[in-house]
Amino acid sequence: QVQLVQSGAEVKKSGASVKVSCKASGYTLTGYDISWVRQATGQGLEYMGWLNLNSGNTGYAQKFQGRVTITRDASTNTIHLELSRVRSEDTAVYYCAGAKGAVAFDVWGQGTLITVSS
């Protein structure tokens, strides 16, 4: 089955950019989309965007358009989430999650805590 392993926690200053990685492995990666979902303390899950592992096509939730970029390194099956101009409200745990199209997210990364300090 697919496994997703994320990069470690980071602390960033307001206004900086942060990049989180998610390495996908497994025999059944074909057809998977990898999405990014975040959760701030005391808040619910918030969808940010997706990338198709086969085509590299991406899509972003409206709230994050212009500030989020999702890319991939096809040679290592690593997906990157870059969030620019971070602010305190971006402090959250960021998860990558996999799904074969518009279905349930059946695999999740372990989460990466991003802390934004002023």
Question: Between residue 19 and residue 58, which ones bind other proteins under the rule CB under 8 A?
Answer: 35, 37, 39, 44-47, 50
How far is it, in rounded angstroms, from Cα 108 to Cα 65?
23
Joined together, the tokens standing for residue 4 give 């997703």
Residue 70-99 contact track with other proteins, rule CB under 8 A, x = bound: -------------------------x-x--
Whole-angstrom CA distances from 95 to 41, 47, 51, 118 are: 14, 10, 14, 23
The one-letter amino acid code at 1 reads Q
Residue with smaller CB distance to other proteins, 14 or 110:
110
- The residue ranges that bind other proteins (CB under 8 A) are 35, 37, 39, 44-47, 50, 59, 61-63, 65, 95, 97, 102-106, 108-111
